[in-house]
Amino acid sequence: MKRVIFDIFLFVFVFVLPWWITLIWAIAGLFIFKNYYEFLISSIIFYVISTTREYTFLNNSLIFYFGVIVFYLISQYIRRHIILYKNEISYKS
């Protein structure tokens, strides 16, 4: 139930608040919840809403999607190695 409420706030933030507040909220969700795929979905929605049709190197959607996925994977790796989350790591692998 906590995750659902957090997701509702996240998607409202995507449409109402500036990008940096939404980003802070989404990154907090990455570290609070396990497998927080809503981060990917919300960032894609925000990108689609806020981009223009002009093509520049920084406005390339492929670079943005790749960057978001890389950021998600790095944050999951960091999450596994933070001392607060050590009890979630299985030592069998």
Give the percent of the chain with pLDDT over 70: 80
Q: What is the pLDDT of residue 92?
A: 47
- pLDDT tens, residue by residue, 19-55: 889 889 988 888 888 888 888 888 888 888 877 666 6
83: confidence class by pLDDT, cuts 50, 70, 90: low
77: tokens are 């790796």
pTM reported for the whole predicted model = 0.67
Q: What is the pLDDT of residue 73?
A: 86
> Is 22 exposed, middle or buried (CB count within 10 Å of its CB: 0-12, 13-18, 19+)?
buried
50: tokens are 């806020």
Alpha carbon distance 34, 52 (integer Å): 33
Range 49-85 burial, b when 16+ CB lie within 10 A, else e: eeeeeeeeeeeeeeeeeeebeeebeeeeeebeeeeee
Look at 60 and 16; give whichever has higher pLDDT: 16
Q: What is the pLDDT of residue 76?
A: 80
How does the average pLDDT of the chain come out, rounded? 79
